[in-house]
Amino acid sequence: MLAGERGEAIQLAMEILTRVGDVYGAEKMIAIASAHTVMTYYRIIMDAGVEICEKFAELGARYCVPTTLDPAGMDLKQWQELKIPEDYAERQMRIVRAQEQLGGIPVWTCTPYLHGNIPMPGQDLAWSESSAVVFANSVMGARTNRLTAVVDMAAGIAGRAPKFGLHLDENRQGEILVKINVKPKTLADNDYPAIGYFVGKQVADKIPVLTGVPRNVSTDQLKNMGAAMAASGSVALYHIPGVTPEARNIDKNFQKRKWDDVLDLDLKELTQTKEEMCTVNSGEVDFVTVGCPHYSIEEIRKLATLLEGKKIHRRTKFWIYTTRHVEMLAKRAGYSSIIEASGAQILTETCMLVSPTDIYGFKTLMTDSGKCAYYGPGLCKTEVLYGSIEDCVETAVKGSYNKSKS
Ligand code: F3S
């Protein structure tokens, strides 16, 4: 493949992959089951990314393993209504067209594991998008490094990835024990992103093993916790004994080694973390935004229930980010009409952080997402408030938030 016997496109892909492999000391290439690639123009792949997508398309490249696409840099349906600048949109659309030629699966979501790219435990993958990577490794027990855009594309084309890092057994062992000393039954949805935020900050790129998480923790709770952990730290894998596939019990996970490091998270730290996630604690709120990672249909259902019969304040935009699949289900289930009647809006195939939200000049953002709370000040250029979905709805209706009265 590297010698060009299977064509120029595969040769180029292998050149990229062998370079990465050399840097990380990989001894060989391995076959992968799927790829997931980040293809937003906004601040990620930019002009060089457009060119490499088009280069691969011109060379006649096709993905040889299922390859899903992360959110685009704008809502691909409503970008004109949302006043996305034409020249920006044209660049994103060049990426879209090139990806169509390559055969990318156009889910345009960071939750590919809910939309057809569903790996089996132990399978090797080449995914990028930190929240998807941590979910694939931890919850699904598959194996992928946190790759970058272009490397993941090359991997999808070649069907190979360099074997290093989290593809190796010895690099998947837990390194820090995190004891969550909060009654499991009292853990609410908005505690999980805060746990993720706290753990990510403390462990950086180490592999945490979390105890104290209830066995009936939901997929959405793990999705939202992992996304925050991968944002405030660079965690790509965590273990929860009794829950995640590689951590059936702590001894096995640590291969009978003594714990190197132990971290306690009690109610006090959890409360402090939620405070730290906010840059302000009261005032007018002109942007309420949820769906980072993309909302599931269950999260949309819960939100529709909370919004039923309510009206969003005129100063406030309430934008919910999800996939076209979920949007379609929400329409069929009647949730969309409730959401729209309130004045909130569903946006698809993008999100508040990978699209140019800063063009609207919002001053204060409120979210239920730990990842959005972490990146919001820098990328959306706003103050940030973190709260539960109930807080988000109440704030959107009032147009303001006052912590002391909440
Ligand atoms: Fe997904 Fe955008 Fe958040 S890609 S994880 S919704 S930053």
Ligand 1 test: best mutation among 197, 292, 295, 296, most atoms within 8 Å of CB?
Answer: 292
Using 50 as the pLDDT threshold, list the residues of the chain that sit under it: 406
Pair type for strands 29-31 and 160-162: antiparallel
Q: Which atom of ligand 1 is nearest to the CA of 353?
A: 7
Q: Is 66 left (phi over 0), alpha (psi -120 to 50) or beta?
A: beta
How confident is the model at residue 256, as a pLDDT?
Answer: 58
Q: Which atom of ligand 1 is nearest to the CA of 71?
A: 4
149 CA from centroid of ligand 1 (Å): 15
Considering just the CA atoms, what is the radius of gyration of the chain in Å? 21
Q: Which atom of ligand 1 is nearest to the CA of 371?
A: 3
CB count within 10 Å of CB 397 equals: 19
Tell me the backbone φ, ψ of residue 287, rounded to 5 degrees. -145, 115
Ligand 1 pocket member 79 (CB < 6 A): no
Q: Tell which residue, 225, 265, 269, 264, has the closest CA to residue 244.
A: 225
In this structure, which residue's CA is closest to atom 3 in ligand 1?
A: 292
Determine the 3-state secondary structure of 200 from DSSP: helix
Residue 177 CB contacts under 8 Å (≥ 6 apart), including other chains: 208, 209, 211, 250, 259, 261, 262, 263
How confident is the model at residue 400, as a pLDDT?
Answer: 97
254 CA from centroid of ligand 1 (Å): 31
Ligand 1 pocket member 131 (CB < 6 A): yes
How confident is the model at residue 265, as a pLDDT?
Answer: 97
Ligand 1 pocket member 371 (CB < 6 A): yes
How confident is the model at residue 406, as a pLDDT?
Answer: 47
How confident is the model at residue 399, as a pLDDT?
Answer: 98
